Amino acid sequence: MLQFAIKRLGQSIVLILIVTMITFFLMNLAPGGPSSMMRMDATEEERAAISEQLGLDDPIPIRYGKWLIDAMQGDLGLSLSSGQEVTDRILERFPFTLQLTMWTIVLSIIFGVLFGIISATNRNTWKDHTINFGSVIGLSVPSFWLAIMMILLFSVQLKWLPSSGVGEGSLLDQFKASIMPVVILSTATLPTIVRFTRSSMLEVITQNYIRTSRAKGIKERTVIYSHALRNALIPVISIIGVLIPRLLSGAVIVESVFGWPGMGRLIVEAAQSRDYNLVMGVTVIVTVLVVVCNFIVDIIYSKVDPRVKNMG
């Protein structure tokens, strides 16, 4: 187990370095690059000061090396648009995104597994067809359109939920403000978990040990939830690691539509203001989050299915 964890950790570190390197080089080699921060009416002194601050006189590999050394020490530089520490700006927004993603993952796993079991155990019935139809709709409808429709219905017409913000005041206000963003984000994860659970359950319940359990007279609920579900969840656990990047990318749209002050909205603001340091900082943090989540999923997967340790 320890050897498996060390190997996965090493792969994760290499992946983080590759992503930061690609992002850094693309940003510097793109038309304009960091120098696009300079105003057309800037004086020579102002241009020289910005060039010195960004280290634009050095070759790109040297600049990347300096940035990487500072980043490893927790220094992601200053935000060029606000003058704040990039780390401070990210820490201000991170709890809001964490709130959305945690609720989305928890609800998607609970309802995704439940609906997947119902669909598999009622194959080719109206329950199965209804759940499959809902999954297809969830995957097909654009999240930004669905978000706008929900705002028009629940905020404008019914006036049940706030259209934007995080909800100031009581916990009830904060809960109401997070309902629509969580529902929209769930459309990117819930249908996939439902479909994977269904297909995995259909495969498991045809195995010989399930037939043996039923032949012994064990209750059907016990057979499904105690015997079949454990093995059926193995591929579902693996897909959760794949869904996390999709969830974070969906947060960009959802947070922008609902005015949610999280990481997704922050990276949009950084791109619009051409805040070079902030874009790099957010990219690093998001990459680390995705890699760490996938690392945790790999460890859990190896616990559930010990064969993975021998294969990896």
Query: pLDDT (tens digit, 9 = 90+) per residue, 11-22?
Result: 888 888 888 888
Tens digits of residue pLDDT in 73-86: 888 877 877 778 88
- Is residue 223 in a domain? yes
Question: Which residues make Cβ contacts (< 8 Å) with residue 192, sequence separation at least 6?
Answer: 112, 139, 239, 243
What was the pLDDT predicted at 170? 75
User: Cα–Cα distances in Å, from 103 out to 25, 41, 108, 209, 286?
Assistant: 35, 47, 8, 35, 18
| Most confident among 47-56, 184-193, 286-295 (mean pLDDT) | 184-193
- Is residue 76 in a domain? no
- Is residue 184 in a domain? yes
Distance of CA 86 to the CA centre of its chain: 21
Confidence of residue 125 (pLDDT cuts 50, 70, 90): very high
Confidence of residue 273 (pLDDT cuts 50, 70, 90): confident
Tens digits of residue pLDDT in 28-55: 776 655 655 555 455 566 666 666 666 6
What was the pLDDT predicted at 36? 55
Domain tally, the chain: 1
- Is residue 58 in a domain? no
- Is residue 69 in a domain? no
Residue 203: CB atoms within 10 Å:
14
What was the pLDDT predicted at 97? 86
- Is residue 272 in a domain? no
What was the pLDDT predicted at 307? 58
The H or E element that residue 234 is part of is: helix 229-258
124-131 long-range Cβ contacts below 8 angstroms, 24+ apart: 131/194, 131/198
Which range of residues forms the domain containing residue 205? 92-266
DSSP percent split of the chain into helix, strand, coil, nearest 5: 80, 0, 20
pLDDT of residue 223 exceeding 60: yes
Contact 22, 278 (CB under 8 A): no
Comparing 193 with 33, the larger pLDDT belongs to 193
Question: Which residues make Cβ contacts (< 8 Å) with residue 166, sequence separation at least 6?
Answer: 96, 174, 177, 178, 260, 261
Contact 189, 243 (CB under 8 A): yes
- Is residue 128 in a domain? yes
- Report how far residue 114's alpha carbon sits from residue 111's, in angstroms, rounded to the nearest whole number: 5
Q: Give me the CATH number covering residue 116.
A: 1.10.3720.10
pLDDT of residue 25 exceeding 70: yes
Give the mean model confidence (pLDDT) for residues 279-303. 81
Strand partners, 85: 78
What was the pLDDT predicted at 131? 92
Burial of 280 (0-12, 13-18, 19+ CB in 10 A): buried
- Is residue 293 in a domain? no
